[in-house]
Amino acid sequence: FGNIAAVERFQRSPEGKALLRSMEKRGLIGLAYWHNGMKQLSANRPPRVPSVKLTLEYEGGDFSGWAAQPGLRTVEGELGNALATVLRVEVKLSVAGRTDAGVHAWRQVASFAVEDIAVELPQLVGATNALLPPDVSVLGAEAVDDGFDARRDAVSRTYCYRVVPGAVRRPLERGRALWWPHQMDEQRLEECAAVLTGLHDFTAFTPVRSEHVRFEREVIRAEWCRRGEVLEFWIEADMFMRHMVRILVGTMLEVSGGRRTVERFIELLHGAPRPEAGATQEPHGLYLASVLYGTVPERSRVLTNMSTSMGRSAPKA
């Protein structure tokens, strides 16, 4: 056989099963022959490359998003350059959420595979941060299972959108929250958030020209919370589409101001065209808050740890 995949296919085939039955008839010697052969073939597999998981925080105002782009300042570009200097080899980064220009992150997760790391992980964090600009930082690094991928292995992502309502703008929230000097009914916002949980078609909440081929997303939780003078919209889902949270917020604010009804908002969750939803709100109010890996019961612990470290109470899990 050329490789282990071919062996595994043969094992599943009628011929392979027949051979195994004949080995079983020979007793322990036959079974030992079979299993030792499989061990030998498995030993010939090419070694898997270890992976490193990074937790990041960044202020997105001066970045042209996450993804590296020629001639533009991006988070991936800055991080990739710093890691290449420290590791003396270029790495291919995978990321949990490809944030747009102006979007911030409290707990972004990236990963990369590298055959040999010349420094210990704590030193990797320090050395990388020494090369990074002040608006992005590596909060931690850990070795993870071979083949770990920050994007593919994520169970869910949580985003937060911050809004400052009121007639007077707040300079200290400039670039960190959306100022909303318009009519607002918080009860209507809560009613909109309450209907988001579950599986819905979010075609109306992503640009018409989209790379997505499937528009259904499962929302695990969604709620509006007030933190002093700031309103925060928290949403956790298995995956998100481009501009999805910003369009949801824009549409809910229109409901809050009386420009559309909650009933009409609900209708949009069944696959309405993009023009029927509200405006795409500004990116600077949006934060990638956390990324969950592992099993669902871990969610409450992850959110509690994240919220405690940020000095805020955790949203309901």
CATH number where 257 lies:
3.30.70.660
Q: Cα–Cα distance between 63 and 135 in angstroms, integer?
A: 9
Q: Are residues 38 and 165 in the same domain?
A: no
Q: Are residues 97 and 205 in the same domain?
A: no
Instruction: Please determine, for residue 39, whether its predicted confidence score (pLDDT) is greater than 90.
Output: no
CB atoms under 10 Å from CB of 88, counted, come to 8
Q: Are residues 192 and 297 in the same domain?
A: yes
The alpha carbon of 56 is separated from its chain's Cα centroid by a whole number of angstroms, namely 12
Residue 72, in any domain of the structure: yes
What pLDDT, on a 0 to 100 scale, did the predictor assign at position 305?
52
Residue 227, in any domain of the structure: yes
133's tokens = 């600009």
Q: Pick the more confident residue, 72 or 33.
A: 72
Q: Are residues 63 and 82 in the same domain?
A: yes
Q: Which residues contact residue 122 at a Cβ distance below 8 angstroms, ignoring those fewer than 6 apart? A: 141
Active-site residue flag, 100: yes
* Cβ neighbourhood burial of 314 (10 Å; 0-12, 13-18, 19+): middle
56 contacts 110 by C-beta, under 8 angstroms: yes
Instruction: Please determine, for residue 312, whether its predicted confidence score (pLDDT) is greater than 60.
Output: no
What is the tally of structural domains in the chain?
Answer: 3
Q: Are residues 178 and 115 in the same domain?
A: no
Range 259-285 average pLDDT:
97
pLDDT, one tens digit per residue, over 205-229 is 999 877 767 889 999 999 999 999 9
Q: Are residues 121 and 237 in the same domain?
A: no
Residue 151, in any domain of the structure: no
What pLDDT, on a 0 to 100 scale, did the predictor assign at position 100?
97
Beta strands in 197-280 (DSSP E): 198-201, 216-227, 230-237
Q: Among candidates 109, 118, 117, 104, which has minimal Cα distance to 139? A: 109
Q: Are residues 280 and 218 in the same domain?
A: yes
Residue 234, in any domain of the structure: yes
What pLDDT, on a 0 to 100 scale, did the predictor assign at position 3?
47
What's the pLDDT band for 29 if we cut at 50, 70, 90? low
Is residue 56 classed as helix, strand or coil in its secondary structure?
A: strand
Q: Considering the entire predicted model, what is its pTM?
A: 0.79
Q: Are residues 98 and 21 in the same domain?
A: no
Residue 211, in any domain of the structure: yes
Domain that holds residue 34: 4-43
Q: Are residues 199 and 255 in the same domain?
A: yes
Q: What is the CATH number of the domain that holds 127?
A: 3.30.70.580
Q: Are residues 92 and 218 in the same domain?
A: no
Share the mean pLDDT of the chain. Answer: 86
Residue 170, in any domain of the structure: yes
Q: Are residues 126 and 191 in the same domain?
A: no
Q: Cα–Cα distance between 174 and 211 in angstroms, integer?
A: 31
Q: Which of 62, 100, 149, 153 is catalytic?
A: 100
Residue 16, in any domain of the structure: yes
Instruction: Please determine, for residue 315, whether its predicted confidence score (pLDDT) is greater than 70.
Output: no
